[in-house]
């Protein structure tokens, strides 16, 4: 897939325009979105991603479109896991509901910038060193095992990183969120940063940590940097509204980590097999590819990912329903 410079420029301009509109809407009227508003925006971004994939199909063919859809679905499902930690961060810093949209949007903008740098670095590595797929594959399998061992998401999933701790020590902070700005002026004329700045740093840096597994995962789907970037953009763009739409449903997705672990392990194995197939390391088969290693087609990857997420979601909701019924029986209600 050959992507010209003007296509990249047009994509970046469109992204900046959408983010500018979002910032304008939130800046003029900070509020907690209703379920109708949140579901409308989520549906809009999903439809936009599906339409973009159709455009890729027309321009670059079915394989490229399949890689985009599979990559987008993978990134979107991994982004849902981010929401668990976002909920913890919002609760930890007691962010007022009307300001949460602004915090999420600015945090997501930071994440897009940082992920863009990750993607550029990953693409450069892959183009020069095909053996990096061995590392990516092993890392994804390790992450999958860690997810299964870690169990359900809880308060322990968020720990203040070095940047957050430094900011809390070094910056003059107020105890109030004020009107949702990053700085306030006290009655004595002193300028202080509000907790909004700390929360924004927490959201942005936490998402960067999540990118450590999501970026290698999508490179296991496609090596085309443009598809990697756009799949990440569409996955993150609807994340803010999804945060408000899912709400309490997040707590009911008890098997999501297991489902994501299966997805990451599958992609890790896929990467490892691809590395074997295109091997260039001299100490493995004399530097020649192992052609017995199968190449997993994109349609099979899409089916595995869709099926795994569907089973994990259905099992989670079924378990939550059983637990709620058992609780009602126990309490006598």
The DSSP output letter for 80 is H
Cβ(191)–Cβ(242) under 8 Å? no
DSSP states of 220-271 as a string?
TT---HHHHHHHHHHHHHTHHHHHHHHTTHHHH-TTHHHHHHHHHHHHHHHH
Please tell me the predicted confidence (pLDDT) of residue 54.
Answer: 94
Percentage of the chain beyond pLDDT 70 is 89
Cβ(67)–Cβ(298) under 8 Å? yes
91: left (phi over 0), alpha (psi -120 to 50) or beta: alpha
Tens of pLDDT, residues 264-319? 899 888 888 887 877 777 777 777 777 777 788 888 888 998 899 889 888 988 88
Please report which helix (H) or strand (E) contains residue 102, including its range: helix 97-128
Q: Does the pLDDT of residue 157 top 70, yes or no? A: no
pTM over 0.75: yes
Tens of pLDDT, residues 170-210? 888 887 777 767 777 777 778 888 888 888 888 777 777 77
User: Which residues on neighbouring strands pair with residue 173, listed in sequence order?
Assistant: 193
* Strand intervals (E) in 159-235: 183-185, 191-193
Percentage of the chain beyond pLDDT 90 is 9
Domain spans of the chain, in order of start: 5-331
């Amino acid at each position: 897939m050959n992507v010209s410079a003007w296509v990249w420029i047009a994509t970046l301009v469109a992204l900046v325009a959408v983010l500018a509109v979002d910032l304008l809407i939130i800046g003029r009227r900070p509020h907690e979105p209703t379920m109708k508003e949140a579901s409308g925006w989520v549906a809009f971004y999903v439809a936009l991603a599906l339409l973009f994939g159709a455009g890729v199909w027309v321009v670059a063919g079915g394989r490229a479109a399949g890689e985009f859809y599979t990559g987008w679905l993978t990134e979107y499902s991994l982004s849902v896991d981010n929401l668990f930690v976002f909920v913890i961060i919002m609760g930890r810093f007691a962010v007022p509901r009307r300001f949460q949209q602004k915090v999420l949007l600015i945090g997501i903008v930071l994440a897009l910038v940082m992920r863009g740098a990750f993607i550029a670095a990953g693409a450069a590595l892959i183009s020069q060193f095909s053996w990096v797929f061995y590392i990516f594959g092993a890392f994804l399998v390790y992450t999958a095992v860690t997810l299964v061992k870690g169990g359900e998401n809880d308060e322990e999933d968020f720990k203040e990183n070095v940047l957050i701790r430094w900011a809390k020590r070094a910056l003059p902070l107020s105890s109030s969120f004020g009107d949702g700005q990053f700085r306030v002026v006290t009655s004595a004329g002193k300028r202080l940063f509000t907790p909004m700045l700390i929360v924004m740093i927490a959201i942005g840096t936490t998402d960067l940590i999540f990118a450590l597994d999501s970026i290698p995962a999508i490179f296991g789907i496609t090596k085309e940097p443009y598809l990697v970037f756009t799949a990440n953009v569409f996955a993150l763009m609807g994340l803010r509204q999804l945060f408000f739409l899912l709400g309490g449903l997040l707590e009911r997705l008890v098997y999501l980590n297991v489902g994501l672990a299966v997805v990451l392990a599958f992609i890790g194995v896929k990467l490892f097999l691809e590395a074997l197939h295109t091997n260039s390391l001299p100490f493995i088969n004399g530097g020649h590819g192992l052609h017995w290693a199968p190449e997993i087609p994109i349609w099979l990857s899409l089916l595995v990912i869709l099926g795994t997420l569907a089973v994990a979601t259905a099992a989670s909701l079924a378990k939550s329903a059983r637990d709620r019924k058992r609780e009602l029986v126990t309490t006598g209600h």
